[in-house]
Amino acid sequence: MNNDEILQTLTAMSHYVGAPDRGYAILGEGNTSARIDGDSMYIKASGTALGTMKPADFLAVSISKVTDILDEPNATDDDVRENLRAALLDPREERLPSVETVMHALLYEYGEYNFIAHTHPVACGGLLCSVNAKEAMLGRVCPDQIVVMGRASVFVPYVDPGLALAREVRDRVRQFVEEENEPPKAITLENHGVFALGPTAKSVMNITDMAEKMAYVLLGAYSAGGPKFMTEKDIDRIATRPDEKYRQKLIGG
């Protein structure tokens, strides 16, 4: 894909996850990004809305310059803003990237990802803001959920938004990759929302759709006496079946 095609695809993906009838993001909520190459990415400009994004509403930034700030132990919110400004590839650019750019940038350090969507879906929010958030996000209840979202997701307990949250996400994703030998397809943030990550825009939309559908299923299961989560053995079986791998490919996973 050339840069124009990346921007067109990113814009279409943003309209999909930002459409008002889906309930994934309203007003200025959420943010989307796409990899340009090994060290650069497009990210939603601060103050824009996903449902009405135009290609020019995305800013190109250096991934490594954005993530530099994570290793500054005493960095303040002002330092983060200045660092984001310094990471812009166009020095004449006056707008600022989304405040959650640091999280997108640290995730692109995994070469498997080309597109990321972060949203606040309504039903996912219902679970993420509940006392059962962790088990609801880590558990698996249907085979199709495993095909689209993988064997497991990353769950991040509530942390003050900003650098502290970005560092927590980085640590938990590292731990996930060590345990699962592959990067996660979804990261769920307690009292906040969901990150969907994938090689294609289509896979990112599928993961967001499936996360929200499963959240509705789980809300139903909790109201019907509590969910019956699949066993580790059944999850492994679905995750490794050749026909399920084939299906995963067909749907753009």
Residue 27 or 224 having the CB closest to Zn ion: 27
Q: What beta strand segments (E) does the chain contain?
A: 31-37, 40-44, 58-62, 115-119, 154-156, 186-189, 193-198
Measured from the CB of residue 97, what is the shortest distance to Zn ion in angstroms? 14
Angle between helices 201-223 and 3-18 (to 10 degrees): 20
Measured from the CB of residue 242, what is the shortest distance to Zn ion in angstroms? 37
Contact 3, 36 (CB under 8 A): yes
In whole angstroms, how far apart are CA 173 and each of 117, 186, 197? 16, 10, 12
Q: Of 97, 70, 69, 93, whose CA–CA distance to 83 is shortest?
A: 69
Contact 109, 63 (CB under 8 A): yes
Cα–Cα distance for residue pair 50/19, rounded to 1 Å: 8
Instruction: Report the site for Zn ion in 48-67 (rule: CB under 5 A).
Output: none
Residue 104 or 140 having the CB closest to Zn ion: 104
Q: Is 41 exposed, middle or buried (0-12, 13-18, 19+ CB in 10 A)?
A: buried
Residue 107 or 146 having the CB closest to Zn ion: 107
**Sheet with 58-62, edge to edge strand ranges:** 58-62, 40-44, 31-37, 115-119, 193-198, 186-189, 154-156
Residue 193 or 198 having the CB closest to Zn ion: 193
Q: Which residue is nearest to Zn ion (CB)?
A: 193
Residue 24 or 176 having the CB closest to Zn ion: 24
Measured from the CB of residue 117, what is the shortest distance to Zn ion in angstroms? 11
Residue 154, classed as helix, strand or coil, is strand
Instruction: Report the site for Zn ion in 178-217 (rule: CB under 5 A).
Output: 193
Measured from the CB of residue 215, what is the shortest distance to Zn ion in angstroms? 16
**Is residue 125 a contact residue for Zn ion (CB under 5 A)?**
no
Measured from the CB of residue 161, what is the shortest distance to Zn ion in angstroms? 8
Cα–Cα distance for residue pair 29/52, rounded to 1 Å: 12
Measured from the CB of residue 191, what is the shortest distance to Zn ion in angstroms? 10
Residue 133 or 235 having the CB closest to Zn ion: 133
Binding mask 139-178 for Zn ion (x = CB under 5 A): ----------------------------------------
Measured from the CB of residue 99, what is the shortest distance to Zn ion in angstroms? 9
241: left (phi over 0), alpha (psi -120 to 50) or beta: beta
Residue 34 or 230 having the CB closest to Zn ion: 34
Number of residues counted as binding Zn ion (CB under 5 A):
1
The contact set with Zn ion (CB under 5 A) reads 193
